[in-house]
Structure 1
Amino acid sequence: MDIPVKKLHPAARLPVYATAEAAGADLCACLEAPVSIAPGETVMIPTGLAVEIPAGYVGLVFGRSGLALKRDLAPANKVGVIDSDYRGELKTALYNHGSAVQTVEPGERIAQLVVVPYLTANFTETDQLSDTARGVGGFGSTGTR
């Protein structure tokens, strides 16, 4: 599938799959200088890119496991949603979960973009839902083991 990508900044780097079987393409920070993120702080990191996700698909922006594990940095909203009609710059709000200041360098891989098809549901109001074995149980009701 071809996805048009517009560079909004000359230093922007196109999304790249790190391996042949990777589901997510890496998104890189498009910065003029390093950006520091204090513990408990969220900073919006630009990519310098806009994309044209095809109709019937959605771009999902996930954190990178190494960034979260090694540096305590993860997207503040956990998963970003890029709708097919959005044409603005892709940005990632990185949150510092740790106790030390973290620095994001220009060109550093900050997130990954996964493009998947989706279905649009028709929501219909009702007074009754069908019964299931689970019922209304939630929030840990099925146990931990």
Structure 2
Amino acid sequence: MMQSIEIKILDKKVGDRWPLPSYATIGSAGLDLRVCIDEPLEIAPNTTVLLPTGLAIHLNDKSLAAVILPRSGLGHKHGIVLGNL
């Protein structure tokens, strides 16, 4: 059963300059979420950086969860981890 969630767009450039989260390929397990920054960013080793997505979500159904995970080993290859892991 497909459930709906509320999405609040926090940055007006989302959907215009930056795409909304979307499935990259047929059969993808999850949506690709992109960072919303105007300039390229270099992250120095052993530093912590919070990156904006421009979005907020509300899951009204307590049986649902939203999880952000690294994709395709890219984070592992470059030593980038998410703060929620």
Whether TM-score is above 0.5 comes out as: yes
Which residues in structure 2 correspond to 1:9-24 (within 5 Å)?
Answer: 9-12=11-14, 13-24=19-30
Corresponding residue for residue 32 of structure 1: 38
Distance 2:6 2:60 in 1: 9
Name the SS for the 1:73 alignment partner: coil
TM-score if structure 1 supplies the norm length?
Answer: 0.47
Pick one of 76, 80, 83 that aligns with 2:83.
76
Is there any run of 5+ residues in structure 2 with no aligned partner, and where? none
Corresponding residue for residue 3 of structure 1: 5
Name the SS for the 1:5 alignment partner: strand
Corresponding residue for residue 112 of structure 1: none
Matched, 1:42 2:44: no
| Structure whose alpha-carbon radius of gyration is higher | 1
Is there any run of 5+ residues in structure 1 with no aligned partner, and where? 79-145
Corresponding residue for residue 86 of structure 1: none
TM-score if structure 2 supplies the norm length?
Answer: 0.74
Name the SS for the 1:34 alignment partner: coil
Corresponding residue for residue 69 of structure 2: 62
**Whose strand fraction is larger, Structure 1's or Structure 2's?**
1
State the identity as a percent. Answer: 38
Name the SS for the 1:46 alignment partner: coil
Give the number of equivalent residue pairs.
Answer: 78
* Structure 1 segments (4+ residues) deviating >3 Å: none
Task: Give the aligned residue type for 2:39.
Answer: A
